[in-house]
Structure 1
Amino acid sequence: MKINKYEGYDLDALIEEAKRELGNDIKILSYEVEDERGIFPFKKRKKYTLFVEVPTAQEGFLDILSKEEKNEEIDRFLEKIEKMIDKKIESLKLNQTILPTPPHNENQQIPISEEFNEFTGDALDLINLLLKKDVEPKIAKILVKEACGLDIDTNKFDLNTSFFKEAIIKGVQKKIRFTGPLKIQKGGLKVKAFVGPTGVGKTTNLFKIASELVINQKLKVAVISIDTFKVGAIQQARAYANILNIPFFAVTDSKNLRKTLSSMSNIDIVLIDTVGRSHYDYWRLGEMKEILGGGNDLMDISLVISCNYKNSEAIEIVNRYRTFFPINSIFFTKIDETYKPGILVNLPIKTEIPVSFISTGQRVPEDLRLLNPERVANYLIGE
């Protein structure tokens, strides 16, 4: 990892300089502040040192093989592997005919089972589309039925809407609850915590929310982090907070959390960043529950879930987390990393938990959207 160092007397100017050199998506590792004496001994000014990671292209296996350092030992090893593969293929040919794997085709029809015999026409086509997007059969049936009427000729259900999108919106409106925009009352302290497994993007998306509240809603926001375990987590969060010019605190126990919150009489909302924990690690989840217990009784807790999770794993995460925390909403991330977003309807319908926001990329604060029925329908039909 290569690190660039910037020094000066204005931190915002240093950040802008780094962006000009390395691009807008820079990763700030940390910064240091020291008092520098001037000509007069009693007069000091702050000098900043900013550390930024320089993005580098990752080197793949084929790139390594193409280098001059590739020696004869590697050649012999690859030759041995090729012979083993050829031998295995020959043995398979003797036992069975190998059928080619068909390429992925978005338009390929999925066989409709007898489970959907009560549907006909456009309703069946819409069910097929939802199944291709990884919507579970039972959920697809529930959603489509909300937009159907009885076809007289076949005595089966068919869509009573002109467009698939309209039909999906109808079903989603009936079966999924949405939190809507954050409702923050100025002068009343609201506390919102973000929990979830490692790597789902809690910190980045917390600061997307913070940016929205500070820049567009002109609210007084503070951030508290209890993620003191991951290397660099506090430094990264502090750098984000410094850019937004909002208070930032790091706490390690419930007593300090309670004390910190009690000192924020002039803050409208406090966002709490938590450490990522496996949903199978009950001991660590218990520790985090004890720390968050230092918050007030009205704390709102949002569970952050990645859209590239398998449906079964996502359900397991929700069920295990909700045994420790009263989950108020689901915050979806990484929708840009999957072409099968069925989790957007499978999870809220099966868990009956409202959904709030969805992250569409890594940029702060641009890549954040409020979820609503129309937006969910757009993702499901590929718009």
Structure 2
Amino acid sequence: MIIKKFQAETEKEAILMAKEELGKDAIVTNIKTIKPKGIYKFFRPSKVEITAAVDDTVNYEEDSLLSSFQKLINENQSNKQTETRKERVIEKQIDKDENLFVDVKSTYSSEIEKRLDSLQNLIEKQIKPTQENATLSIEEDKSNENEYIKLIYKQMLINEVDEKYANQIINEIEATLQKGASVDTVLTSIYQKIVLKLGQPETIELGEKKTKFVFFIGPTGVGKTTTIAKIASGFKMNKNTKMALVTSDTYRIAAVEQLRIYANILGVPLKVIYSADEMSQTKEEFEDYDIVLIDTAGRSHKNSEQKDDLEALLGTVDDSMKEIYLVLSATTKYKDLVRITETYSTIANYRIIFTKLDETICMGNILNVKMMTGSPLSYVAWGQNVPNDIGRLDAQFVAKKLLGGSD
């Protein structure tokens, strides 16, 4: 894992520097403003410092060579073209990271060390230097380092991270740590590794010209209908998007009526369908809309016939026009989540939404499912308030919780 800091006049410039040096897979893990000290604060503007990280599996050398080659090409073009291209790259990256529901900048503004103070203090209290007035030998340093890792590993298990994935993270970190690493180094390295494993959340993006059909799938009782209402409200209130709602959940009259109430409040059409054929007709009916959110019936992962019906429904829309979100509850047992995700394994390219975060104190399942499926994480939801109780997954927040950090 490679971790570097970059300073620039603006946040956009700092992100561009990180992407150019570390490659497109670099993830921004911390942003802070650096103000000049002393008398210089009256004459010099503040700077922005970002911390960016990239996993060891990323071909860092190749990205650097490509970046250098790109610079040589840029030098042969006019300054105006170069500046225009850079602005577009910056805008594309920043727009991709925009949060429809929460302020990302405020989420990522705190220092890593500050956010993990509670766990670091716990470790430092439990591990005492064996020689208070002497320099530790390499063997003693290594012993302390192992104790740090054991405590952090235990903390991950307490927060219900599966042993397999906890061991994987620890093994990857141990392979890169220098001898005698401090508790701060060990903790920060594991924290950064978890953030990288969780990845960047992928949320709904509107098509430039085509209608976007968004399907919400998942087992019963996870809160799909409420989640759709929250997302629909966000698009309607914040972007005044031309949208429609569709439900195939005709097994539960209450679910249809609940969505109908939200549709009336938002002033958007609602279509109730009973088969894949009706979905094909509905697609033509809403072809001039920006986005269509589709609620599906909560299927049992044990019922193969219901799964076939769902796949037929999803097959009515071309891949280029649809997005699929698997809605899961953070309170579901991990063994059940394994079976659920296996049921939906034949459905490619789905993203994951976790609901009911307010009903659990352990977030290990978020990391477990991400590492098990490899599917991108997306939104997280908590509570019943529409449209407030939803947001993009915050990888830093989840990593902090898994390591025992407080809110």
What is the match of residue 305 of structure 1?
328
State the SS of the aligned residue for 1:198.
Answer: coil
Partner-residue secondary structure (3-state), 1:197: coil
Match of 1:217 among 215, 219, 239: 239
Q: State the Cα deviation string for residues 277-324 of structure 1 (Å, max 9, x = none).
A: 11001111212222332223332111111111111210110011223x
**Aligned with 1:282 (options 295, 300, 304):** 304
Question: What is the match of residue 244 of structure 1?
Answer: 266
Cα distance in 2, alignment partners of residues 265 and 159 from structure 1: 59
> Among 117, 121, 135, which residue is 2:161 paired with?
135
Alpha carbons of structure 1 residues 203 and 159: separation in structure 2 relative to 1, 3 Å: farther
SS of corresponding position for 1:256 = helix
1:121 aligns with 2:147: yes
Determine the structure 1 residue equivalent to 2:22.
Answer: none
Give the whole-Å Cα distance in 1 for the aligned partners of 2:319 and 2:207. Answer: 17
Q: 1:190 to 1:143 in 2, by over 3 A?
A: same
What aligned pairs does 1:1-383 form with structure 2 within 5 A after superposition?
A: 120-147=146-173, 149-152=176-179, 161=184, 164=187, 166-298=188-320, 299-323=322-346, 325-380=347-402, 381=404, 382-383=406-407
Offset at 1:150? 3.3
| Structure 1 gap segments, 5+ residues each | 1-106, 108-116
Distance 1:151 1:168, change over 3 A: closer
Amino acid corresponding to residue 321 of structure 1 in structure 2: Y
1:173-218 residue CA offsets vs partner (Å, 9 max, x unmatched): 4323334342213542111101011000000001111111111122
Cα distance between partner residues in 1 of 2:391 and 2:233: 13
Q: TM-score under structure 1 normalisation?
A: 0.63
Q: Which one-letter code corresponds to 1:131 in the other structure? A: L
Q: Secondary structure at the match of 1:331?
A: strand
Deviation at 1:133, TM superposition (A): 0.3
Question: Deviations 1:17-64 (Å, cap 9, x if unpaired)?
Answer: xxxxxxxxxxxxxxxxxxxxxxxxxxxxxxxxxxxxxxxxxxxxxxxx
Residues 122-168 of structure 1: CA deviation (Å, up to 9, x unaligned): 22221111111011122123334555543535xxxx5674584x445
Deviation at 1:263, TM superposition (A): 2.0
Whether the 8 Å CA contact 1:176–1:352 is kept in 2: the answer is: no
Richer in strand (by share): 1
What CA distance in whole angstroms lies between the structure 1 residues aligned with 2:292 and 2:191? Answer: 33
Which is bigger in relative contact order (C-alpha 8 A, separation at least 6)?
2
Q: CA deviation at 1:170?
A: 1.1
Which amino acid in the other structure matches residue 227 of structure 1? D
Conserved? CA contact 1:358–1:369, under 8 Å: yes
Closer, same or farther: CA 288–197 of 1 in aligned 2, 3 Å: same
Aligned mates of 2:258, 2:194 — CA distance in 1: 37
SS state at 1:174 partner: helix
Contact 2:330 2:366 in 1 (8 A): yes
- Segments of 4+ in structure 1 off by > 6 A? none
| Cα displacement (A) at 1:171 | 1.2
Give the structure 2 partner of residue 3 of structure 1. none
Secondary structure of residue in 2 paired with 1:287? helix
Q: Which runs of 5+ in 2 are unaligned?
A: 1-121, 123-142
Amino acid at match of 2:243: V
Amino acid at match of 1:201: G
TM-score (norm 2): 0.60
Does the aligned pair in 2 maintain the 1:257–1:292 contact within 8 Å? no
Partners of 2:316 and 2:144 in 1: CA distance: 53
Q: Distance in 2 between matches of 1:206 and 1:122?
A: 43
Q: Taking structure 1 as reference, are residues 159 and 247 closer, same or farther at Cα in structure 2, changes over 3 Å only? A: farther
Identity of aligned residues (%): 31
